[in-house]
Amino acid sequence: MQNLLNRFLGYARSDTRSDESSGTTPSTVSQMLFARKLADELRKTGLQEVTLDSNGYLMATLPANIPDPGPVMGLIAHMDTSPDAPSANIKPFVHDNYDGNDIVLNHDRDIRLSPKEFPELAAYSGQTIITSDGLTLLGADDKAGIAEIVTAMELLLADPSLKHGTIRIAFTPDEEIGRGADQFNVAAFGADYAYTVDGGAIGELEYENFNAAAATVTVSGRSVHPGTAKDTMINSIMVAREFDAFLPAAERPEKTSGYQGFYHLYEIRGGVEETVMKYIIRDHDRTKFNQRKKWVEEAGAKVERDHRGAAVSVRLKDQYFNMKEIIEANWYIIEEAVAAYRTAGIEPVIKPVRGGTDGARLSFMGLPCPNIFTGGHNYHGRFEFISLQSMEKAVEVIVYLCLSAYKRKK
């Protein structure tokens, strides 16, 4: 546990946020710097075939220690952290033997992580909790996944009696901005199937995710001096408000859960002359997903008709699709995961991902890839936390997954 903790704390201190406005891969220099350090660590750990390409994709191999090893399993995590929360000068703090009360993250500003606001915290009484200082995110998404994979590889290398086939690992850039699979070379990776270690609370096992699209809505109006604006001004801000009101208010992220889809307005900027709104559209069901996209287009057409002289442009782009259909055709991957969880003393909590994962796109690129837990909570925010004991269990699960192909073959 100490190696795991030290490794994670070291990773967490690195600012590796991605940048959606960048046109490079990786989108930030800091990700490449982190990848180079990580590559050196993998070599020192004893992994082989360590490669880091110009796009920041780091891959390595744990060679089989059995003859005729059979299928190659992969393990994947991402190096970047979310650009949606502060991530400069991350200061991780370790809170031993959590007593069930508020955790003071920052004494000077009286920032607290409280079980009253985050009831899930109460389940970790007596455990070791890791947080930031309340001024930044922690970065367990997905530095925890990286630390857990590397620690599992270290354990397997240290004990030749643990028999396993060939294991490939990959650490990717820019997952948080939806580009994590853009330059992923599935053929070079050479795995038959894989798991992303990028989930949340202990026990989560996910093989369903949203179908996802992005929508950019541009409203063009007409600016006129307000003193003489009667019947001539077209205020694009007001038209944009009507567009947003046309979308169901009950189908926003803050109003939905489980398999319920949503429309999420996450950015708006503009003035009288022009307003630009950015949405993400999500639904697990492909038919409903397509209906949602159609509804956005119809909303644009309706608002434009209602405001003569205004122009409403709707630009849609599919981002990823529900990997369920791919995983169900390769169900042994889930069976092996369930067995690994139970061997580690964990009852799997199979639930849909209310978001995306590199595994979704990779599954459609020929690499079936469900998602397993890291142990973290409250990702992408200042109140992020993770239990060291949950991280240890994730390492156990990874080790058992590495042994599963051998056991199945035997």
pLDDT band, residue 68 (cuts 50/70/90): confident
Q: What is the b/e burial string over 11-24, where b = at least 16 CB atoms within 10 angstroms of the residue's CB?
A: bbebbbbbbeeeee
Does position 72 have pLDDT exceeding 80, yes or no? Answer: yes
Token pair, residue 384, equals: 């992020």
| Confidence (pLDDT) at 353 | 84
Dihedral angle sign, alpha carbons of residues 117, 123, 125, 131 = negative
Tell me where in the chain the CATH 3.30.70.360 domain(s) lie: 211-320
pLDDT tens digit string along 282-320?
Answer: 999 999 999 999 999 999 999 999 998 999 999 999 988
pLDDT tens digit string along 13-65?
Answer: 999 999 989 999 999 999 999 999 999 999 999 999 999 999 999 999 999 99
| Confidence (pLDDT) at 408 | 52
| Confidence (pLDDT) at 406 | 53
Q: pTM for the full model?
A: 0.88
CA 47 to CA 169: how far, in whole Å? 10
| Confidence (pLDDT) at 1 | 85
| Confidence (pLDDT) at 407 | 54
Active site residues: 80, 175
pLDDT tens digit string along 79-124?
Answer: 999 998 899 999 999 999 999 999 999 999 999 999 999 999 999 9
User: In terms of residues, how long is the chain?
Assistant: 410
Q: Which of 206, 240, 224, 137 is nearest to 372 (CA)?
A: 206
- Indicate the pairing of strand 73-78 with strand 193-197: parallel
User: What CATH superfamily is the domain 2-208+322-409?
Assistant: Zn peptidases (3.40.630.10)
Q: Which amino acid is at 269?
A: R
pLDDT tens digit string along 336-382?
Answer: 999 999 999 999 999 888 877 789 899 999 999 999 999 999 999 99
Q: Which of 117, 148, 147, 119 is nearest to 134 (CA)?
A: 117
Does position 410 have pLDDT exceeding 50, yes or no? Answer: no
CATH class of 211-320: alpha beta
Does position 405 have pLDDT exceeding 70, yes or no? Answer: no
CA 164 to CA 65: how far, in whole Å? 6
CA 50 to CA 42: how far, in whole Å? 7
pLDDT tens digit string along 253-280?
Answer: 999 999 999 999 999 999 999 999 999 9
